[in-house]
Amino acid sequence: MQVALTKPIRPLPQAIQRLTDLAYNLWFSWNPDALKLFARIDAAKWEQSGHNPVRLLQELDDAQLEALSKETDFMNAYQQVIAAYDSYMSGTAWFQEKHADRSYVQIAYFSAEFGFHESLPIYSGGLGILAGDHCKSASDLGIPLIGIGLLYKKGYFTQKIDISGGQQAELLQYDFNKLPIKQVMKDSLPLLVTIDMPGRAISLQVWSVQVGRNTIYLLDADHDANNQADRELTAQLYGGNQDTRIAQEILLGIGGVKALRAIGYYPNVYHINEGHAAFLTLERLKELLHLGLPFHVAVETVRAATVFTTHTPVPAGHDTFSIGMVEHYLGPLLQDLSRHKQEIIALGLDYHSGQFNMTHLAMNTAGLRNGVSKLHGQVSREMFREFHGNIDAGEVPIDSITNGVHLDTWTAPEWKELLDRFLPGTWRQEQANKDQWQAVKVIPDDSIWKVHMQLKENMIRYARRNLAEQRRRNGESEERIEEVRHYLNPKALTIGFARRFATYKRANLIFNDLYRLKKLINDIDRPVQFIFAGKAHPADFPGQELIREIYRVSQKKEFLGKIVILENYDMNMARYLVQGVDVWLNNPRRPLEASGTSGQKAAMNGVLNFSVLDGWWEEGYNGSNGWAIGSVGTADWDLQEKENTGAIYKILEKEIIPLYYNQGELPHQWISRMKRSIESLSPVYNTHRMVQDYTELTYLPTADRARHFAGNGYEVATKVADYKRFISSNWYHVKIIGVDDRSAKISTSNPLVLNEQSTKEVTADVLFGPIWPPDTVVEIIYYEEHNGAWNQIVVPMKPAGEPADQTQKYKAAIPGHLVHGPHFSVRVRPVSSNFVHDFELPLVTSTLSWK
């Protein structure tokens, strides 16, 4: 398969022709020397281009290019960058060194958005930027991963804030000729894949983005063969109505698999990053059914090769569609597979709501599932407990892999240069090794403070430019524009809040007590200032009202220049903010923040987190590396609002502000906390650690399982599918017909006393019918209180004697004070050595249990 430039950069002088290689590989975006190289070509045009090297090189004239090729300093820098690039691209990495025997692993990573860099604006926020960081670390680590997404011609939207604080969403149409992307060609023609939709076919062009060693393929419906409505399907990220959404998800999932096949790629791991891409499993089912596999065998084959990551801790955040809508849009596929129509619909059916749920589809077709923090994993297990039958939430087969961020993208070059001087030389390659970070504590305080203050001043200059442009565009007076030059005091404690403006994130929580806020901000000796930024979805009117409220407060005389809200939050602005503020504020309603990653970016830059114990911060906070707002309780919203507001002000007044201003020449205690934050958080909350976890815990076992299931004519897939069908059809025979704990043997130092140290034997008689007893496990379930929580205890029972009349007796010892019924229960569940987790087949027969 070939890739081609739709509009090649003009021929460059021979001496610098490899600038084209750099421009079309987003490796430049996380390599400071490459970024500096492009900036020194023409600093003004570099900024005007939005840090887009393709556009920069296209807009240079021949004389400028010729002059560059003869400039000694530039050529020295150019050669160093090219050498670093070639070394990176050809060198071995973690995966090749640690898993040299796993060369067969091939991973396809599907995501509705990817946030790589501001020069390729096809992302809206956290999910996309996480996906971009995931791909960057996969490249750094040498993991054989390709990505599949959509190429949005109008991106998300450009945000303008008007003179009343209203968000104005402006859509721009991007010229693909000027983006760091290439069109995929086949036989010298643009590669097209076709998707059958009701009454017509949609043709998709395929574009490629090079992200270091790996390639991301993006699908584009803006093609002459399509009608105008279909051409708009890939116009905007998260735009349109439900019809647009389901069509986009079909293009992503079904179109993505078709694109892989057209390119000649047959992965053995398919990673569904959030439910948007779950339709990919239906296209893979179709392929297998066309090979002649029975439906239940095809499902097991798909499941064996699929990983699913959920990012949404509230039911309303999971995409659902009416059955009628699904039947309409999937009409051609369902007609092709008409014998299996109801079975296909059942894969995504939420029986409670009657809706087709994309998360249900993903969970039914993915062998391994995970949330994105420990708390989110717990919330997800509670949310989908019923989906897995009558089991304890802790047993629900949804694991967790906590998010991280790409260190080289988000850590300021100034910080990396400082760390290079004190940390071991391998710290960047082994950034997930905590030992590499211990030397942070010996970095001189003045060196740390110098870097921090430099970045803070850079951020303030950036913020002033943003505010001045905002006022200039809104037609405000020169006096109003000029006064922005004096906004934000580099010496004042600066608190940042920047993220998507969704109501649960509570951007306005600090405004619950304006009188108290006024005292903090206007303290002559210890002033505090706030910087806000973020976009609200164009259809999220409550989120837009938060922006108006912050703007209105920022225009009050007592807050002018001390509370500001910046417009058009993007990756470029995010870098300034997470690198330049003193404190990163995060106060969502717990537990609605699945993970959050902005605070992780801040932590890598010595910025201290001040956050609700939600998402990643519940596991990252250790008592001395930042501050926690509130407790880990699950109070109702009104109570949580009151408690969190009080905690924010109390901690600011009693801890944060005094610590920051407790300084002579240097705030040594503050810097000490910065060091503890960097040392404890950086090695854990980076995407190298995260992607290594995905590799070890999901990708490798999934690749092996997929090969095992598909080998020898799908022998194991058939065996597992037939086993599940037999067990499911006959499970109604399984009954626990007797439990005896009354006359059991009691073991205790005093036979007259039953206490928690005594044990007794329990027996249970189980009727199996045609099911073979070794295909099941029989267990006793009871609960013990520990630190205020009731924890489930599982005691396996062993067969006692030989089976008779399809009945088997089991026995086990448990604490002597427990009584069957009110204190413990007995359950039976099916097992298989080919199951990926204990409750892959959610069938449980149990006696009454107590909790």
Average pLDDT rounded to a whole number, residues 346-356: 95
CATH fourth-level superfamily of 413-435+493-685: Glycogen Phosphorylase B; (3.40.50.2000)
pLDDT tens-place string over residues 573-626: 999 999 999 999 999 999 999 999 999 999 999 999 999 999 999 999 999 999
In the chain, where does the domain assigned CATH 3.40.50.2000 lie?
94-400, 413-435+493-685
Residues near 494 by Cβ (< 8 Å), separated by ≥ 6?
456, 488, 528, 529, 530, 531, 580, 581, 582, 583
CA 584 – CA 497 distance, rounded (Å): 6
637 has pLDDT over 90: no
390 has pLDDT over 80: no
Per-residue model confidence (pLDDT) at position 630: 84
Q: Are 335 and 305 in contact (CB under 8 A)?
A: no
Q: Are 669 and 592 in contact (CB under 8 A)?
A: no
443 has pLDDT over 70: yes
Per-residue model confidence (pLDDT) at position 634: 62
Average pLDDT rounded to a whole number, residues 485-509: 95
Per-residue model confidence (pLDDT) at position 748: 46
Average pLDDT rounded to a whole number, residues 225-254: 95
pLDDT tens-place string over residues 685-706: 999 999 999 999 999 999 999 9
Q: Are 284 and 347 in contact (CB under 8 A)?
A: no
640/848: higher pLDDT: 640
14 has pLDDT over 60: yes
6 has pLDDT over 70: no
Average pLDDT rounded to a whole number, residues 459-466: 98
CA distances from 110 to 324, 372, 571, 693 (A): 26, 16, 21, 18
Q: What percent of the chain has pLDDT over 90?
A: 89
Per-residue model confidence (pLDDT) at position 667: 95
What is the dihedral angle through the alpha carbons of 623, 626, 632, 637, rounded to the nearest 10 degrees? 160
CA 626 – CA 603 distance, rounded (Å): 9
| Other beta carbons within 10 Å of 636 | 7
Handedness of CA 281, 287, 291, 294 (dihedral sign): positive
Residue 40, classified by CB atoms within 10 Å of its CB into exposed (0-12), middle (13-18) or buried (19+), is middle
Q: Are 103 and 117 in contact (CB under 8 A)?
A: no
Average pLDDT rounded to a whole number, residues 457-479: 96
| Lowest-pLDDT choice from 496-510, 623-637, 643-657 | 623-637
Q: What pTM was estimated for this model as a whole?
A: 0.95
Band of the pLDDT at 240, cuts 50, 70, 90? confident
821 has pLDDT over 80: yes
Per-residue model confidence (pLDDT) at position 757: 66
What is the dihedral angle through the alpha carbons of 39, 44, 48, 53, rounded to the nearest 10 degrees? -30
CATH number of 94-400: 3.40.50.2000
Determine the Cα angle at 552 with ends 549 and 553, to 5°: 90
| Phi, psi angle pair for 816, to nearest 5° | -65, -20
Residue 594, classified by CB atoms within 10 Å of its CB into exposed (0-12), middle (13-18) or buried (19+), is buried
- The chain-wide mean pLDDT, for the chain, equals 94
Per-residue model confidence (pLDDT) at position 786: 84
435 has pLDDT over 80: yes
850 has pLDDT over 70: no
801/696: higher pLDDT: 696
Topology (CATH) of 734-846: Immunoglobulin-like (2.60.40)
Q: Are 200 and 279 in contact (CB under 8 A)?
A: no
745 has pLDDT over 60: no
Average pLDDT rounded to a whole number, residues 266-279: 97
743 has pLDDT over 70: no
pLDDT tens-place string over residues 184-219: 999 889 999 999 999 999 999 999 999 999 999 999
Residue 18, classified by CB atoms within 10 Å of its CB into exposed (0-12), middle (13-18) or buried (19+), is middle
- Residue 9 DSSP class: P
7 has pLDDT over 60: no
- Residue 836 DSSP class: S
pLDDT tens-place string over residues 95-147: 999 999 999 999 999 999 999 999 999 999 889 999 999 999 999 999 999 99
In the chain, where does the domain assigned CATH 2.60.40 lie?
734-846
Band of the pLDDT at 670, cuts 50, 70, 90? very high
Per-residue model confidence (pLDDT) at position 756: 53
> Strands 107-110 and 269-273, how do they pair?
parallel
744 has pLDDT over 80: no
Which tokens go with 152?
């949005």
Per-residue model confidence (pLDDT) at position 792: 93
